[in-house]
Amino acid sequence: MEVSQFHPLRVNPAPEALVLLGMSPEDLQAWLASTGQPSYRVRQLRQWIYHRGARHLRAITVLPHHWREAHQSVSIGRSRLVRQVQAEDGATKLLLGLEDGNTIEAVGIPTAERLTVCVSSQVGCPMACRFCATGKGGLQRSLASHEIIDQVLSVGEAMGRQPTHVVFMGMGEPLLNLAAVLSSIQCFCRDLGMGQRRITVSTVGIPRHINTLAQQAHQVLGRTQFTLAVSLHAPNQSLREHLIPTAKAYPLEDLLEDCRAYVAQTGRRVSFEYVLLAGVNDQSRHAAELGQRLRGFQSHVNLMAYNPIAEEDFQRPCPQQVERFRRILTRQGVAVSVRSSRGLDQDAACGQLRRRWAANITDHGGASG
């Protein structure tokens, strides 16, 4: 008998399981046709997946019972809700469990007019920002597009409202998962009716990736209208490296030059995110230096007071210091606004709920995701 008959390894990997969430109408139609279903089933399937909360094919009762039974193993691609917490101001954070046992966070931030969903693009994060709880655990993996799309659906269901805006400001570095991020944006626009201008992609900055973002966004989406938000957090390279160790690979001047090229290429201004840490990067001299760098730049600065995490001793600046910083930038002609913190009583900072949940499971003898 030949040895190969006993070999336990496959030469070719098994094909990935079919997941319906995020599939284009054309791909859905091709799959349905291959199973003997007419083309009008595409509209029914999309309606139930994106607007009626179907989590399994067997729940879509407009489809033939025998067909649902035959294809019940096909995944829609929904996560499970592990934990939900709501702050006094209405901000709601979800801890979602994935098929492989990992967990991710998504946050709903409501106002009277809108519901913004802050989504994760990776499980963990490789960027190691000192003030961020997500980076403390490192990177486990990138998310598939359906795992990103599911976060928006899950937050909408949990809060009983249709999400109107999406920001990629949760766990992970979106530019290191660009294909899935752009695919999910395409789905938000196509299947949820969300305009690109209501979507923001945030990055710490990866060398050569901002230009790639502009090019691939044009290829996938036809045009680039979402907002690019760059997490700056410092007015100079040395302080930025202190706060973001991975910034050593991307000098601040190079990052800003790539941002200028992005503006020229897309016609869209860049937003700069700046987390204010008391006594670290919030002094008047920091504001003056930042204003000098950004003067004349087609950009906007969002100032955010730090949300404390247990692992670091950074402190939140007082409102007067935040306002002083804002005034200095304004006097230098820099467009600036102060973003109010939401969910402070429920550990709103990225990664806090996930880390706390994992610690609780470990303390009780379980395995954390």
DSSP letters of 29-49?
HHHHHHTT--TTHHHHHHHHH
pLDDT number for residue 115: 98
Listed residue (364, 306, 363, 357) closest to 94, CA to CA: 357
Low-confidence ranges of the chain (pLDDT < 50): 1-15, 344, 346, 357, 359, 361-369
* Tokens linked to 363: 């303390």
pLDDT number for residue 309: 80
Q: Judge if pTM exceeds 0.85.
A: yes
Q: Look at the domain 80-363 and name its fold.
A: TIM Barrel (3.20.20)
Which residue out of 125, 187, 259, 350 is catalytically annotated? 350
Which residue out of 16, 105, 132, 147 is catalytically annotated? 105
* Tokens linked to 82: 């592990």
Rounded to whole angstroms, the Cα distance separating 338 from 327 reads 11
- 350 labelled catalytic: yes
* pLDDT tens sequence across 138-180: 899 999 999 999 999 999 999 999 999 999 999 999 999 999 9
* pLDDT tens sequence across 73-87: 999 999 999 999 999
- Spell out the CATH class of 18-70: mainly alpha
Q: What is the average pLDDT score of the chain?
A: 89
Q: Around Cβ 74, how many Cβ atoms within 10 Å?
A: 16
pLDDT number for residue 13: 33
- 318 labelled catalytic: no
Domain positions in the chain:
18-70, 80-363
Query: How many angstroms separate the first and last alpha carbons of the chain?
Result: 43
Rounded to whole angstroms, the Cα distance separating 201 from 172 reads 11
Q: What torsion do the CA atoms of 329, 305, 91, 174 make, to the nearest 10 degrees?
A: 80
